[in-house]
Amino acid sequence: MSRNVLERVLWQLSVERAAKERFRADAGKFLARFDLSEEERQMVIEFDVSALQRLGVNPMLTMGFWQELSPTRDMALYKERLGASDEQRAAFSAALKG
Amino acid sequence: MGKIVGGFWMPHDPVMFVAPDAPPQEQRDNVWGAYEVCARRMAELDATAAIIVGNDHYILFGTQCLPRYLIGNGDVDGPIEALPGLKRGVISNHQALAQHIVAEGETQGIDWTVARSFSVEHSFAIPHQLTVQAAERMLGRSIPTIPVYLACGVDPYISFKRAGELGRQIRAAVESFDADERVVIIGSGGISHWVGTVESGRVNEEFDREILAHGVNGDLAALCAYDDADILERGGNGAMEIRNFACAMAAVPNPRGEVIAYEAVPAWVTGLGFLQLFSQESAQ
């Protein structure tokens, strides 16, 4: 089940320093050892947190992965990538910025 | 014979530490002050030991092993995360009582997963540092604290039925313990909060007050009657943590509650409730 593999990958990338370093050095190479489809690999490489959540990945992991490894780590952008509505953006808090 | 002398519900919101100045001053004061009130009341209960019921947030346990319920009965330290204002260090555990809870559980079909060494995360560390350690300073002595972790953040979630059974089993174990322990149990959790989802920042005060009312009434059945879909809709994925409240409430004999503080804090992405559980049997 893809969700299980994706959660394994994202958990490692959230908590394991060596995994983070390997991912930063060459994300494609790091992901090659996992049983993921090409589409799923792209979701991880492109930080497509919305698609990952649609596959059932725990939001705590998508958030942790984003905060650890995304280029900007910006939580406003994270919510944007999740498709936040205007109302949800308006409810946005100072705590989530940056 | 040991005794559960009382309990608390309190939050473990890491955003308080990351963005302490985000909410209005009054809310900040009320929330930080509520931890102090809990500490003072814990000291007034003359607690000799504490149990904190928390939950992992996909930090400690990975996909290779997701325990429904776990107790730390050996070497304990933490927190594992680096949060500003929280110190990492060795945590004084009550190994004898923790081992007794495990052994007593086996006689009742409660097969605890045991951590012989355990690094806690913030759901234990925040109540421990803000309330238990503060009570220790007031009393001038240690309050050894046992970590219990229930699966509330990562599915498969523990059932409410099991959470309640664990609370009752903890109480039975404390009461059959050799020493004259005075144990306080803390259910650690936010009420409504959406973690990592598009709704993050939403707080549902109506749901939060409903949950607190169950605590005030000591109504474990009502607290345990929520189904997961209802919780997710009205309280968010973070509100699954009310299972920790259920476990703590079930451990207190004939409980009634008093709300110490409540604040709906969108800037800290959570409905934050503080409640003390009193044992009516102790009062009699």
Q: How far is B43 from chain A (nearest CA, A)?
A: 33
pLDDT of residue A88: 77
At residue B181, φ and ψ (nearest 5 deg) are: -80, 145
Contacts of A92 in chain B (CB under 8 A): 201
- The DSSP annotation for B27-44 comes to HHHHHHHHHHHHHHHHHH
Contacts of B196 in chain A (CB under 8 A): 58-64
Produce one character per residue of B167-176: b if its CB has 16 or more CB atoms within 10 Å, e if not. Answer: bbbbbbbbee
What is the residue range of B99's domain? 3-283
* pLDDT of res. B282: 58
β partners of residue B148:
B53, B71
- Short-list A87, A38, A95, CA closest to A67: A95
Query: Which residue ranges make up each domain of chain A?
Result: 2-70
Residues B6/B252, Cβ–Cβ less than 8 Å? yes
Task: Please tell me whether residue B51 adopts helix, strand or coil conformation.
Answer: strand
Q: Closest partner residue to A95 among B18, B195, B202, by Cβ? A: B18
For residue A95, what pLDDT is reported? 47
- What is the distance between the alpha carbons of residues B178 and B204, in angstroms, rounded to a whole number? 44
Residue B21 has pLDDT above 60, yes or no: yes
- Determine the average pLDDT of the residues in B18-41: 97
Amino acid symbol at B97: L
State how many domains chain B has. 1
Cβ burial of B177 (10 Å; 0-12, 13-18, 19+) is buried
Please provide the average confidence, as pLDDT, over all residues in chain B: 97
Which residue from A minimizes the CA distance to B203?
Answer: A91
Q: With 70 as the cut, is the pLDDT of residue B284 above it?
A: no
Spell out which residues of chain A touch residue B202, defining contact as CB-CB under 8 Å.
Answer: 88, 91
pLDDT tens for B190-200 read 999 999 999 99
Q: What is the pLDDT, as a whole number, of residue B272?
A: 98
- The whole-number pLDDT of residue A98 equals 36
Asked if the Cβ–Cβ distance from A63 to B266 is below 8 Å, we say: no
Asked if residue A62 has pLDDT above 90, the reply is yes
* pLDDT at A96 exceeding the cut of 60: no
Token pair 């109506």 is found at B206
Q: Pairing mode, if any, of strands B255-265 and B270-279?
A: antiparallel
**Sequence-ordered list of residues with C-beta below 8 angstroms from that of B179, at least 6 positions apart, any chain:** B2, B96, B97
Q: Which pLDDT tens digit goes with each residue over B211-256?
A: 999 999 999 999 999 999 999 999 999 999 999 999 999 999 999 9
The answer to whether the Cβ–Cβ distance between A60 and B198 falls below 8 Å is no
Residue of A60, A61, A68, A79 to mutate for B, most B C-beta atoms under 10 A = A60
* Complex-level ipTM: 0.93
Whole-angstrom distance, CA of residue B83 vs CA of residue B100: 33
pTM of the complete model? 0.96
Question: By percentage, how much of chain B surpasses pLDDT 70?
Answer: 99
CB–CB contact B57 A60 (8 Å): yes
CATH code, B219: 3.40.830.10
* Residue among A89, A1, A39, A15 at smallest CA distance from B119: A15
